[in-house]
Each structure stands twice: as C-alpha cells, then as structure tokens.
Amino acid sequence: MKGCLLVLLLAGSVHAVTAPSTLIANVQGRTTVSLDGAWRAIVDPFENGKSSGFFRNEKPRSKSDRVEYSFDASPVLNVPGDWNTQREQLMFYEGPVWYRREFAYHTRANIRVFVYFGAANYQTTVYLNGEKLGEHEGGFTAFNFEATSVLRDGDNFLIAEVNNMRRADAVPALKFDWWNYGGITRDVMLIEVPSTFIQDYSVQLERGSQSEISGWVRMNAAQLPQKVSVEIPEAGVRETFNVDRENRARFRFAAKLELWSPAHPKLYDVIISSGDDTVHDQIGFRTIEVKGAKILLNGEPIFLRGISMHEEAPFREGRAFSLEDAQTLLGWVKDLGCNFVRFAHYPHNENEIRLADRMGLMVWSEIPDYWDIDWSNPRTLESAEAQLRDMIARDHNRAAVILWSLSNETPVKPERLTFLKQLALDAREFDSTRLITSAMNHTDKAGPESRTLSDPLGEVLDVLGLNEYMGWYEARLEDIDKMQWKLAWDKPLIVSEFGGGAPYGRHGDADEIWTEEFQDNLYQHQLSMVERMPNLAGITPWVLMDFRSPARMLPGVQDYHNRKGLISNRGQHKMAFYRLQTFYKKIADAGR
C-alpha cells in the first residue's frame, strides 16, 4: 500500500505542490508593517509548550493561579537573527524556541492582512491571539498566512514556535556541512492588501525572444469581470487584460527594451494594477539559453566567472540577512571579478538577490537537497517540491537568476533519480524561462588520470554542475595536471566546487596543508586543469568566505569553521583570492 502511494506520488498525479504557492509576490513593493525587533523567547528543549499551550500567552489571574511559563519574564531575541549567535548557551542548541511579539494594530474595513516571515529554520507554527494561523516547513523559504479575521483592533500578540531539530525525513536531513542556525532568521511583517489583490505575477521575456514579453498575473479573490494592467512607462508599455475564472490574466505583447546583462544591469519600473491594488517592481529583461555546449545570455555565449557562497554574515558571524551584509558579500564577489555567484546550498535572503539584480551578477539559486536525504519518503518529496516552488515563487521576476539548482552532491541510486527527475519537471512547470542544474560529484574512473562525469541525473539537466576536490579530498596536486575529463552528455559544464582549507595568516610551504600557500597552489593547479575541461561554461569555486560548520572540529585550524574561504570571516583576503582574481581578469580581458 505504501509502495502504491509512492508510485502514485512519484508519477506526479497527487502532488500537493500542483497548487500554486500562496506566497504574496514582491513584499518590498507592498504596504507593510515591520514586526522586526526584540521578541520575547522561551527556550523549550522538551517541547512542553505545545501541551502547556504557550500559544495562549497566559498570565496568572490571581496570586494562587499556576502558570509555569512567562513570556513577559523571558529574555529577548532579536528578529531577524539566528538564536545561536545571540546567546552563548544556544550556540549548539537544536530544538524548539517559542517567540512572542506584542503589537498594536488599527484594523480597517476592506483591508486584508497577512503575516509574512522571510524565513525561520526549520519547522514553524504561527499563532495570532491564541489561534493557529498555519505551519511551515523549510528553513530558507518565505511564507505568509492570512490574519484578517483574527487580528484585533488594538492589542495583539503573535507567537511562533520555531524548531530547528534535524530530522531524517527533512530537507536537508541529518548531515550537512554548515551551521544549523535556528530561529526567525529573516524579516517578519504584516502585509496589507485590498480585499481583491494581486497575489503574484510573471513579467519576463518570452523564452528565446528579445522583443516579446509574456507572462501572467494571478489575483486573489478576483471579482469578475476584472481587468489587470501592466505598465512599463520607460518602454512606453501600457497593456490591459481580462482576468479569467482561475483568477489569472495571461498576456503576451511586443516591447522594445534594453536588455539586462552584467555590463548593463538595466531594471525597468514595472507597475501592475488591478482594481484597488497597485504593485511596483523593478524588473530586468534578458534571455538565457543553452546552445550545444554553450550558455547564451541575450543570444551571446558567456563564460560564468563565479564563486560559491553561504548566507553567513561577514565580520559578526551568524546568518546574514540585511542589505549591509549583502553589500559586503556581493561587493567582494565583484572585487573578485565575478559576473556570477552560486548561492549555496539553499535559497538566500531577498536582499542578496535584489542586490545581484542591481549589480549585474548572475545567480545560481538552489534548494537544500544535500547529500543523502530520504528519497523514498513522499513527505520528503513534498517538502523538497514545496521549497522549490516557494524559492521560484519569490524570485521568478529577478533577471539575476539564470539557474535553478535541484541538489548538491546527492548519491547515485534509483530512488534519488526518480525524486530529482520529478523536481526537474516541477521546476520547468513553475518557470519555463530559467535553466535547470544540479551540483553532481559522481564520476567514473577509467584510470588514475581520467574521470568521466557520468551521473545519470545529467540527462535531465540543461547545465551540468560538477563538484570535484582534486588535490584536497582526492588525488595529489601533481595528478591534477595530467587529469583528463570527459562528460557523458554534450552539455555546458560548470565546475560548481573545488577548493581547500587554510586559516587566514597561516603560512608555510606550498605543499604544507592548512596554509595559504597550499590553498593558493591548489588554485593554481585547479585553474589550469579546469581550463582544459570539455564544455566549460563557468566555475564557482568553494567558497567566498569561511563559514561555521559543526563538522569541522580541528582545534587551532578549523575550530568549527570550514576554512575553504578565499576571505576569512573577519574579511581578511587570503592569497588564493588574488590568484582567482587574476584568472578572472585574464578571462574578462580576453572578452570571454
């Protein structure tokens, strides 16, 4: 029976995710009330709060009344922010924490209100004034719940139970190489919209066309007949369309546009309006496609000079969330000479993606199908599909995003292939204009100096991602020079990871591990090897900045940090940073 259900699920017939995302698009273009700031927080390792009803926010009514918790007397945690770096005792904590935020609100007729969380890791249950609004799974995707009927005119309290306990059926599962930061890690706000509002929209160039825009607007509670208009004043566009019974207006029209590119990251003001609702956005227009072994941006072959990065804060440690964090991190990416960045290993905050749009950095965005997860479990598939859908729902109008990535270093086995093939189908259904990739690491060895990227997943991808650690986990540095690479598919290749660890300031000979010289030497060998790889369309070495990881314990060297960064977490640039910078300059100067 279980088997049958799985077959049905994998056949795509009973997917929870065929329902569109409930995310309200473009929160930055809406009327919002911030709920960021100090929240009271109760750390609840045994999860007593569920049975004791912490969501009711009770207070003793008399001197004999027994209430065994108190938000009022509990210390605060800042939102946004992981709890691990806010309190020393919580650095290694995994489990539930109850958050409470009190706020005054003035309700108005014909205004609907949604509570929006940019992200909370991993499982979140949200209550308003003692009533459950909803539950969300996944540590890096945004979610919102309607609060209109529960919101009071006057004082309100919002409670969120956030639980970052790792689970075998979760995405990611039990093991991953980054810190399991818990808490409400991105902004929280109320979104105010009219009774009938614009839920989401897609305004993009038609696949393969540089002069035709196609897309859709999805309304919430449309009152037919209803019209939607799309305006791009600078391009002289003002088009009006009818909303259909499914709450959608679909459109296609010609437009004369300057195309978005790293050299010219042109964004247009786009105004979508319908009835009482108007949303402003800034959207860039470009095409991205694959032709043979090349990636074409606006019809021209482009080499992706990239770097991988985590969403970790420079200088202060912890999760990155602010625009300032994004400016520092992406500023370094630009200094390196990149036109491309891989946001590993999960969807990053919207500040990063919006800034990439403005700076002209192309983006690889991925969901945390990382290493081994419970591939045969329908619940796990459902979670991965929902995370994919919601990643795409938030960012599908960003010109910067050119690649959706389905997974990272997942082991080759049949149930995993079935799972990831389903995600490839989903990704193309949610967004037909981006390319699909995955970071793979399964190779065949015909001999010590020969490797073939042969992971069967390659068949369903537009672009092949390869993580290889020659000279670090595998092979000696000298072997790298002789390595011959082959691909099982004639598709563009991105070397999505290579690297080695060195704490900043640790020096020695070029063959002495954990030194900057060794890391630099490794980059030197790697860069000349990758240049010889077939179909090479770009690289994103591992990694921009050192980051925390419970799996990296070596005292004096790692101290719970992965030290493969080109920059330390205090902003110091290592030798290998300049090696890669020189390489990218050479490529850019050659006009590749």
CB of 176 to ligand GCB, least distance (A): 7
Q: Does 343 bind ligand GCB (CB under 6 A)?
A: no
Assign residue 44 a region: left if phi > 0, alpha if psi is -120 to 50, beta otherwise? beta
d(C-alpha 496, C-alpha 484), whole Å: 18
| Distance of alpha carbon 360 from alpha carbon 50, whole angstroms | 46
Comparison of 364 and 542: residue with beta carbon closer to ligand GCB: 542
408 near ligand GCB, rule: CB under 6 A: yes
Q: How far is the CB of 346 from ligand GCB (least distance, A)?
A: 11
Q: Which is nearer to ligand GCB, 156 or 467 (CB)?
A: 467
Selected from 409, 455, 520, 546, the binder of ligand GCB by CB under 6 A is 409
Task: Quote the CA–CA distance of 60 and 67 in Å, as a whole number.
Answer: 6
What is the Cα–Cα distance from 572 to 27, expressed in whole angstroms? 35
Q: How far is the CB of 466 from ligand GCB (least distance, A)?
A: 11
Task: Find the helix packing angle between 516-531 and 575-589, rounded to 10°.
Answer: 20
Beta strand 340-343 with 304-309: parallel, antiparallel or unpaired?
parallel
In the complex with ligand GCB, the residue whose CB is nearer, 212 or 372, is: 372
231 binds ligand GCB (CB under 6 A): no
Nearer to ligand GCB, 123 or 441 (CB): 441
Position of minimal CB gap to ligand GCB:
177
Would you tell me how many other CB atoms lie within 10 Å of the CB of residue 135?
12
By CB under 6 A, the residues from 140 to 199 that bind ligand GCB are: 177
Query: What is the footprint of ligand GCB within residues 461-520 (CB under 6 A)?
Result: 467, 497
Least Cβ distance, residue 530 to ligand GCB (angstroms): 16
In total, the chain counts a number of residues equal to 592
Provide the 3-class DSSP secondary structure of residue 422: helix
Residue closer to ligand GCB by CB (options 297, 567) is 567
407 binds ligand GCB (CB under 6 A): no
What's the half-sphere exposure (Cβ side, CA atoms, 13 Å) at 576?
A: 38
Q: Which is nearer to ligand GCB, 283 or 367 (CB)?
A: 367
- CB 546, min distance to ligand GCB, A: 10
For ligand GCB, give the closer residue by CB, 158 or 309: 309
Residue 311 binds ligand GCB, judged by CB under 6 A: no
Q: Which is nearer to ligand GCB, 287 or 467 (CB)?
A: 467
CB closer to ligand GCB, 374 vs 546: 546
CA distance 494 to 533: 10
Report, in Å, the least distance between residue 311 CB and ligand GCB.
13
Alpha-carbon distance values, 218 to 115, 227, 397, 456 (Å): 20, 11, 14, 37
Cβ-proximal residues to 331 (8 Å cutoff; 6+ apart), any chain: none
Decide: is 564 part of the binding site for ligand GCB (CB under 6 A).
yes
Question: What is the per-residue DSSP string for 108-151?
Answer: -TTEEEEEEES--BSEEEEEETTEEEEEEE-SS--EEEE-TTT-
Q: How many residues bind ligand GCB (CB under 6 A)?
A: 9
- Among 145, 332, 542, 577, indicate the residue that binds ligand GCB (CB under 6 A): 542
Of 103 and 371, which CB lies nearer to ligand GCB in the complex structure?
A: 371
Q: How far is the CB of 518 from ligand GCB (least distance, A)?
A: 15
Minimal distance, residue 88 CB to ligand GCB, in Å: 25
Beta bridge partner(s), residue 41: 99
Packing angle, helices 378-395 and 350-359, rounded to 10: 40
> Is the torsion defined by CA of 108, 112, 118, 119 positive or negative?
positive
Site for ligand GCB in 367-396 (CB under 6 A): none
Among 85, 380, 562, 569, binds ligand GCB (CB under 6 A): 562
Instruction: In whole angstroms, give the CA distance from residue 333 to residue 461.
Output: 26
Instruction: Please tell me whether residue 297 adopts helix, strand or coil conformation.
Output: strand
Q: Which residues bind ligand GCB (CB under 6 A)?
A: 177, 345, 408-409, 467, 497, 542, 562, 564
